[in-house]
Amino acid sequence: MKFFLDTANFDEIKEANSWGVLDGVTTNPTLLSKEAGQGKDYKQMLKDICAEVDGPVSAEVVSTEKDGMIAEAHDLVNIADNIYVKFPCIPAGLAATKAVRAEGIRVNMTLVFSPAQALLAAKAGANFISPFLGRLDDVATGGMEILEQCIEVVKNYDFDSEILASSLRGPMHVVEAARLGSDIGTMPYDVFTKLVKHPLTDIGLQRFIEDWNKAKEALGA
């Protein structure tokens, strides 16, 4: 499974990228708005992120009608070569997807909450389809089951779309999405850093170092 970071915070992206396992970034208007006040406009923020990450960086439109979405998409892809445009899964978003895919612009269909929407996104030609698991859980609906159904319906056919498990709220969401065969998972920095943690790793490492230090002289080290 490819790992994307779900943030517009440059320091988080830089740190995660230094681990050598980051495949891309997803942003949205809310995430970009959290970084306001740093003296950078959103285009510069996206430009910096795109330069840091060797992989897709998703940036979302805010228009809700087809022509406005397409115009914003043209603007966004001028920022960098690795921009994927996020369109919401509404009729205008499907139509905009179909139109810009014909021009070679890559699309991440966002705000997907059902397998029916996932199928429509695939049919429109979206490169990434983003079911929002955590937000489904928030309304007492099994997000993971919906992800499973989205994977099933899209993989039953010959679509090129990749499923991007989104709104992941903890390490188990990441593991379960991987077990279901999701192509990609996008997660907040906090979840990303939790993935590596295990108390037995820390205890084991400490013991190895202590044992080595005790026997150092005898070992001629």
Between residue 96 and residue 115, which ones bind ligand E4P under the rule CB under 6 A?
Answer: 110
Residue from 3, 5, 6, 49 binding ligand E4P (CB under 6 A): 6
182 binds ligand E4P (CB under 6 A): no
Residues 23-62 that bind ligand E4P (CB under 6 A): 26, 28
Q: Does 186 bind ligand E4P (CB under 6 A)?
A: yes
Q: Closest approach of Cβ 165 to ligand E4P, in Å?
A: 9
Identify which of residues 135 and 155 has a Cβ nearer to ligand E4P in the complex: 135
Q: Give the C-alpha separation, 146 to 182, whole Å.
A: 12
> How many Å apart are CA 38 and CA 35, to the nearest integer?
7
Binding mask 119-158 for ligand E4P (x = CB under 6 A): -----------x-x-xx-----------------------
Choosing from 86, 98, 155, 197, the catalytic residue is: 86
Rounded Cα distance, 75 and 69, in Å: 10
Q: What minimum distance in Å lies between the beta carbon of 131 and ligand E4P?
A: 10
7 counts as binding ligand E4P under rule CB under 6 A: no
Half-sphere exposure of 38 (CA within 13 A, CB side): 16
Residue with Cβ nearer ligand E4P (31 or 95) = 31
- Name which of 89 and 218 has its Cβ closer to ligand E4P: 89
Is position 98 annotated as part of the catalytic site? no
Tell me whether residue 168 is exposed, middle or buried, using C-beta atoms within 10 angstroms of its C-beta: 0 to 12, 13 to 18, 19 or more.
Answer: buried
Residue 92 near residue 64 (C-beta atoms within 8 A): yes
Shortest Å, Cβ 129 to ligand E4P:
11
The CA-atom distances, in angstroms, between 35 and each of 11, 133, 148 are 11, 24, 33
The residue within the footprint of ligand E4P, chosen from 117, 149, 167, 182 (CB under 6 A), is 167
Give the active site residues. 86
The residues binding ligand E4P (CB under 6 A) are 6, 26, 28, 110, 130, 132, 134-135, 166-167, 186
